[in-house]
Amino acid sequence: MASMKKFIALFLVAAVLQWGGSHAQQPYVNQQQLACNNNNNITKGYSCNSFQKSCLSYVTFRSTPPYDSADTIAHLLGVDPNLIASLNRFPSKTTAVPSNKLVFVPVNCSCFGNFYQHNSSYLINKGDSYFTVSNNTYQGLTSCQAMEAQNPFDPLKLMVGAHLLIPLRCACPTYYQNASGINYLLTYIVTQGDTVSAIAKKFGADAKRVMADNDLSIDTLYPSTPILVALSNLTIQAPETNPSPPNERKKRTELIFGSIIVACVLFSALGFILFFLWRKGKGSALGEVAFNASFDDEFGNGMGAREFSYNELSKATKNFVEEKKLGEGGFGSVYRGFLRSSNIDVAVKRISRRSKQGIKEYTSEVKIISQLRHKNLVKLIGWCHEKELLLVYEFMPNGSLDSHLFKGRSLLPWNLRFQIVQGLASALLYLHEFGDFCVLHRDIKASNITLDLAFNAKLGDFGLARLVDHAKGSRTTLLAGTIGYMAPECHRTGKASKESDVYSFGVVALEVACGRRSIESRYDGDQASLVAWVWEAYGNERLLDVVDKKLSKDFDLLEMECLLIVGLWCVHPIDSMRPSIKQATQVLNFEAKLPNLPNKMPMPKYDIPNISIIKTSEPCSPNMSITVPR
């Protein structure tokens, strides 16, 4: 950050005057802009809500080769290069400026249809899509939805060499803003780690007003999306000679939390005693591989994860304020944070102080996940066991799979659903087959799968995971998991295995295809158990009856059939009849034929309760770590 500041030679000063009322809202476009299938009106532009049909406005652009001079940026954005050069005090129109410099670009903004925009044009290159052009080339100044609405091309067949009309997002001040002295609206592109407060500060604006102007209720922004900043004047000053003084240490905060810290120290002492006891006792667990490495070797393995100080994480999450909370799990809460040192958004899991299980979970998670690296596994960035047990992960802007499938966060289209299951299969293949040891995840479920910006699946929550030796029969003695995702034999033997992970994977596959939970109390009789219901439909050759109705028949028939049948194969009640994750992956990738399954769902080999009889409120056994889906 400090070195980046050096590069930024110009500083922007904006004087913003007060204004009253909330009549000027242009809703923040949020992450919907990044999901091209989402066609909400706000993704298309700011609405023409002003008395002015056109006006001068400003947009921001971060220099990046080849767009790093007034000439090249002006060409991309369809404006006069002289205006960019003079406003930003570039030495000349052709001088290349350092990368990632914030450049201010004046545009003529006018109303077209219902939306304000500034037209530019772009020559299509090989490999371009509406998404890459809007997000990567134009940095979010336009959206795939706006481009699709105004261009004649099929989104899948952009013609190389043809021109696209690029509607750049801009807006004009409303009557109320004009009356309170606002002259311009700046379309600022949010970058990794930005918050409304930080943006407001940058432009000398009031954060509450920026929130109101963008109809925001929480300070959560998404990189590569635009936000409006109302300005009375835009002046760019000469390079500052003195570096700005570092932020003052907030000693008061430390005083305020003094009493909490005492409690934390006591807690962490207890935590470490329990932790070392657990480590000692753990070596004897059947089939498990104890690590002989020292504590530090184990944790700091050169894979990029590192130890954080409690202060750093507490700052990153604004002291774990409620509004930063992303969710709550079995062993504690997860908060959104921003790491100033590395300029990234993170999710910080704070393990509940009350939970002894939590300490086990913490060590298990750090130990296992820090050994792993795969594009479909959530990345552990670091940990902290000073005062509290904290785990730091990369932040996943699209939340968890269950929020989309079951809680209506978005309607995931078929191609993304299929891609998510393929990604999950790929992660599981890596866990089971690729390392020196096999990793059993033991808690695969929709709520443990998170989605990145491009909706790639990332399997997380390794709190119940165990390392097992490939040779020594892949079994552990601890029963764990979530009702509805647990293989029938687990209830009998209390042992997890590769087969039981494959079972849970199969349940997720069926949930994705059917758009409903594996066990849902609102369905009665035949439909209560997803597995039994889908199997019956398969037997009656009416497989498509179970497909998620919300997809409105918009899916690829072959892929759907493949997903449902692979799902059923994986949830075969007899564990030895299930495929390995490798076989399942091959079928999902259309590299192997679909299996033939019996028309009637086979009974498990032993007289044990069928999964469909188990109620969600009934734990298999006390003292075992079982969670019930919420």
> Could you tell me if residue 396 is left (phi over 0), alpha (psi between -120 and 50 degrees) or otherwise beta?
beta
Do the strands 54-62 and 306-307 form a parallel or antiparallel pair, or are they unpaired?
unpaired
Q: Where are the beta strands (DSSP E) in 471-523?
A: 480-482
Token pair 């959104």 is found at 336
Please tell me whether residue 233 binds ligand NAG under the rule CB under 6 A.
Answer: yes
Please tell me whether residue 165 binds ligand NAG under the rule CB under 6 A.
Answer: yes
229 or 537: whose CB is closer to ligand NAG?
Answer: 229
Q: How far apart are the first and last CA of the chain?
A: 41
Instruction: Please name which of 516, 521, 508 lies closest in space to residue 408, comparing C-alpha atoms.
Output: 516
Q: Are 118 and 26 in contact (CB under 8 A)?
A: no
Task: Enumerate residues 6+ apart whose C-beta is below 8 A from 387.
Answer: 261, 264, 265, 267, 268, 310
Strand partners, 12: 236
Task: Indicate which single residue of 119, 415, 583, 612 sits in contact with ligand NAG (rule: CB under 6 A).
Answer: 119
Minimum CB–partner distance for residue 15 and ligand NAG (Å)? 7
Task: Indicate which single residue of 14, 97, 103, 107 sits in contact with ligand NAG (rule: CB under 6 A).
Answer: 107
DSSP code of 304?
A: S
**Residues tagged active-site:** 443
Minimum CB–partner distance for residue 555 and ligand NAG (Å)? 23
Please tell me whether residue 80 binds ligand NAG under the rule CB under 6 A.
Answer: yes
Please tell me whether residue 181 binds ligand NAG under the rule CB under 6 A.
Answer: yes
Please tell me whether residue 136 binds ligand NAG under the rule CB under 6 A.
Answer: yes
Residue 349 labelled as part of a binding site: yes
- The window from 134-142, 282-290, 431-439, 460-468 that contacts ligand NAG (CB under 6 A) reads 134-142
- The window from 102-110, 354-362, 493-501, 557-565 that contacts ligand NAG (CB under 6 A) reads 102-110
| Contacts by 272-276, CB closer than 8 A, 24 or more apart | 272/385, 274/356, 274/359, 275/359, 275/363
Distance from C-alpha of 541 to C-alpha of 536, rounded to nearest angstrom: 9
For 494, counting Cβ atoms within 10 Å of its Cβ (0-12 exposed, 13-18 middle, 19+ buried), the class is middle
Task: Indicate which single residue of 139, 352, 370, 426 sits in contact with ligand NAG (rule: CB under 6 A).
Answer: 139
Please tell me whether residue 453 binds ligand NAG under the rule CB under 6 A.
Answer: yes
Please tell me whether residue 204 binds ligand NAG under the rule CB under 6 A.
Answer: no
Encoding tokens for residue 249? 């240490």
Query: Reduced to 3 states, what is the DSSP secondary structure of residue 502?
Result: helix
Please tell me whether residue 145 binds ligand NAG under the rule CB under 6 A.
Answer: no
Task: Indicate which single residue of 14, 36, 79, 560 sits in contact with ligand NAG (rule: CB under 6 A).
Answer: 79
Task: Indicate which single residue of 454, 544, 603, 613 sits in contact with ligand NAG (rule: CB under 6 A).
Answer: 454
Please tell me whether residue 235 binds ligand NAG under the rule CB under 6 A.
Answer: yes
Minimum CB–partner distance for residue 148 and ligand NAG (Å)? 13
For 54, counting Cβ atoms within 10 Å of its Cβ (0-12 exposed, 13-18 middle, 19+ buried), the class is middle
Minimum CB–partner distance for residue 242 and ligand NAG (Å)? 20
377 or 519: whose CB is closer to ligand NAG?
Answer: 377
Task: Indicate which single residue of 32, 33, 50, 135 sits in contact with ligand NAG (rule: CB under 6 A).
Answer: 135
Query: Reduced to 3 states, what is the DSSP secondary structure of residue 566?
Result: helix
What is the torsional sign of CA 28, 34, 38, 44? positive
Do the strands 480-482 and 625-627 form a parallel or antiparallel pair, or are they unpaired?
parallel
178 or 612: whose CB is closer to ligand NAG?
Answer: 178
Minimum CB–partner distance for residue 78 and ligand NAG (Å)? 8
Please tell me whether residue 37 binds ligand NAG under the rule CB under 6 A.
Answer: no
Please tell me whether residue 224 binds ligand NAG under the rule CB under 6 A.
Answer: yes
Query: Reduced to 3 states, what is the DSSP secondary structure of residue 334?
Result: strand
Please tell me whether residue 108 binds ligand NAG under the rule CB under 6 A.
Answer: yes
- List, as residue ranges, the binding site: 349
Binding site for ligand NAG (CB under 6 A): 41, 79-80, 83, 106-108, 110, 112, 114, 119, 135-136, 139, 150, 165, 178, 181, 183, 224, 233, 235, 453-454
- List, as residue ranges, the binding site for ATP: 349
